[in-house]
Amino acid sequence: MIKVLFFATLREQLSCHELEVSADNINTVSALLSHLCSQSTDWQQALSTNILCAVNQQMADPQHIINDGDEIAFFPPVTGG
């Protein structure tokens, strides 16, 4: 299983802070995003915006390989001021 976490506005948009996804046929961040976007149009809209990803608390790009037992976090870009 892959543990998926959502932060900030993503958490609010999806009404979900955490879920577990089977690692079967999901081997990259991009594949995980595709799987999550297939849940509904709300998920597709929320996850198709400019979001960042971390795999096991390390920043990752869409081609990053993920494995069973990994923790994946999605969050919007942070701005300061």
**What confidence tens digit (pLDDT) does each residue in 34-81 have?**
999 999 999 999 998 889 999 999 999 999 999 999 999 999 887 555
Place of tokens 């849940």: 39
pLDDT digit string (tens) for 3-13?
Answer: 999 999 899 99
- Which of these, 52, 45, 37, 40, lies nearest to 6 by C-alpha position? 52
At 63 the pLDDT is 97
- pTM for the complete prediction? 0.90
Between the CA of residue 22 and those of 4, 19, 77, what are the distances in Å? Answer: 11, 10, 27
What count of other Cβ atoms lies within 10 Å of the Cβ of residue 59? 10
Among candidate residues 17, 23, 34, the one with its CA nearest the CA of residue 73 = 17
DSSP state of 39: T
Half-sphere exposure of 10 (CA within 13 A, CB side): 24
Per-residue confidence (pLDDT) for residue 81, from 0 to 100: 56
Query: What CATH number should be reported for the domain whose range is 2-75?
Result: 3.10.20.30
